[in-house]
Chain A
Amino acid sequence: MSHDSHHAPVACKTELAPERSDLGLYRPDRATGLIDWLTTVDHKKIGIMYGAFAMLYFLIGGVEALAIRTQLARPDNDFVTARMYNQLFTMHGTTMIFLGVMPLSAAFFNFLVPLQVGARDVAFPRLNAFSLWTFVFGAFVLNASWLFEFGHLAGWFDSFAWHKALVYTDFAPANGWFSYAPLSGTFGANGQALRFTGVGTDFWIIGIQILGIASLAASFNFICTIINMRAKGMTMMRLPVFTWMTLVTSVLIILAFPAITVALIELMFDRAFGANFFNPSAGGQPVLWQHLFWIFGHPEVYILVLPAMGIVSEVLPTFTGKSLFGYPIIVFSGAVIGFLGFAVWSHHMFTTGLGPVPTAAFSLLTMAIAVPTGVKIFNWLGTIWGGRIRFTPPMVLALGFIWMFMCGGFSGVMHSSAPADSQQQDSYFVIAHFHYVLLGGVLLGLMAGLYFWFPKIFGRMPNAPVAYLGSALVILGFNLAFGPMHYLGLAGQPRRTHTYHAGNGWETWNFVATIGAYVLGIGVVLVFGNLVWTAFRGKKCGNDPWDGRTLEWSLPSPVPEYNFAQAPVVATRDAFFEHKHGAKKIGLENDGGEAGVHMPSQSWMPMLASAGFLFIGFGMPMMAMGIPHAGWLVISGLGVLFLGIWLWALEGPGGYMLKTPAPSGAPAPAETVAH
């Protein structure tokens, strides 16, 4: 293949000569503006898009949460109907987990992993674009169900004959984020496939399926990148902890998602083709759904939290001026958490009657998983201990993470005891627990990451006073909203119930929780709004504003397309910090820098392939609704997917050479930015 030799190196890709791919089509390599973003294979741009979509869905999920809290502010409230309430809490959970936290983590994976391992891109740039667009279309399919619900509320569908047949209870998903069978499944013998819930469940099934494909493709890519594309000298035990946690998270994703994929396929066969996997009338076992869901669902909790732990492990050493205390133990604990994460799923199912032996075993393993988590917390405390702490916005958020996550951990250990859990099951106590983990833990961690790396991503510094104010409101509002729920749960308030009567002693704390939720909402808007403002208008800052420790800080901000003009050679952990303050300098590999850096070509094909999922995503629910000929939409979607992959394979990898500003022999990138 001589595709990369017929190009002379160019300083900017717009100077490229028009080039046809192996298929004879023009490559979008020279594109700028919108087309550039749509066809990009640059991991940094893909990361930014992941982040932007994640913030959008955080806001949508937040609005859903505020609607829930408004409904619960007073007893016997009728702000929303019970039907709407079910859809709100289902879509709130699904949105926050699959469209908020996971893509925001993916944004960090994309942006940081190649920079931290010293690579110029991920292992499969086009596959990376495919992951992004598949996520975008999957998220769209899932949320499009709201449009049907709103259309129904507006009465648009009343005149259609098929309307009466297609919905029983909902248009948007309304089963909870776990969609337990048999509520989400079918009943009736011999393939009647009578359903408890409406088309929302079908949207949920296909939407999660598509999002799963996006996560799987991205994870294969990141594992490959981390294992295979490390710079010279970057041994596994010199990897930054964030990269390590990305690796563990990706391994969890590739091993946990198949379980939910199969469960979703089975549920889809039940609903669309009258199969009997979870149909109690035909002997199907709804508890099997719970097992399959939580075999995925529990590792998923660690998929959500490990990236945030990785971020905190980067932020704390930077702002204490110390290296991470017990690096090998932190890495090992992360791996142990990932491993044990597969062995605790049944603690979500203590009340299903597993029998004494499994219950005891899962209790024990759940308690055991607190050990590596505690080890991590003590290591973070050890990192802070004796350090010169700088209370920058990311540091404040990271310290908030440790504190809040620990509270969530404590109530988690309480759940591990089966007798206690059977009292707490399905009460607000559980809601308090996992919001302390997911919001106090994960969201604060991710926000810390955003404030930490934003100067690297955009070369601009977020406004500090607004950041402090936003962080304070988030932490205050969050505790006000979820602290009282511990009490409400123990006082017996059940989850997923659209209202409650006065006189149970729940009124005061529900009202306080609602106020807290609004304070939290204002805080989140400030925190995110500040970032959006920063991206466009923030004050420009240097390449290394925090005195960073890892390789990404050695690069200019914003990072050039090719990342490293010359590949770095690493001699130690915290390579850039050592380079600035220690004896071990970052070397530069003589990899033909003057000839330019080989860049992968941009392509429409990943997006085309992903677009197939859009057809499938709308076709499957319509098929389940019984709309005639909807099956052809699914088949055409598969056709588009196949066509996209086929053209993708045939167009050839392409690529061009980009000149770097520092020809070989010139000063090292590190030296150009050192203070």
Chain B
Amino acid sequence: MSLRPLTTPWFHGPAGHEKIWLGCAILWCFVMSLMMPYWHFRGKQNSTGEAYTVKPADFFARTEKFVASNRVGTFKNPIANALMTELPIVEPPAGGDAYLMGRMWQWYPALRLRKGETYRLHLSSLDLQHGFSLQPLNMNFQVLPGYDHVLTITPTSTGEFTIVCNEFCGAGHHAMTGKIFVE
């Protein structure tokens, strides 16, 4: 009786079908618990959360220095009336550091990467929280002001990729984009 107090002893261990189901459910919980550590050591896609505190002004300075010393061209946005009309294209050295800064409302600068090379991609924000969302791959990471979020990333496909913002950051949020070109 679900609505009245229980007056007879009610403490029984599981039995029959209930015991079978409990066994299956616990086993499944074990499988899922083991999958994450397994993938951490053997899988290639992990979010380790490597991060360092950084003042927005310092991150801005690092990004500007990175752009000045590695710039290879200019990206002009073909979308009419876009908030982001053009960006410097910057190519970090293979195995080196790349800086990408989120601000209302663009990802700065555009990056050119080489397929198969590994980069340390530094993400941070100058103002609000932003969401780094690489499309059409659909890889997503959180970007916070005050934190230098480092992704050690290896492009394995070539072409033009768009960075979309997927953390709400004001009226221009939907149009906050950036570019990564992989050759």
A and B are interacting partners: no
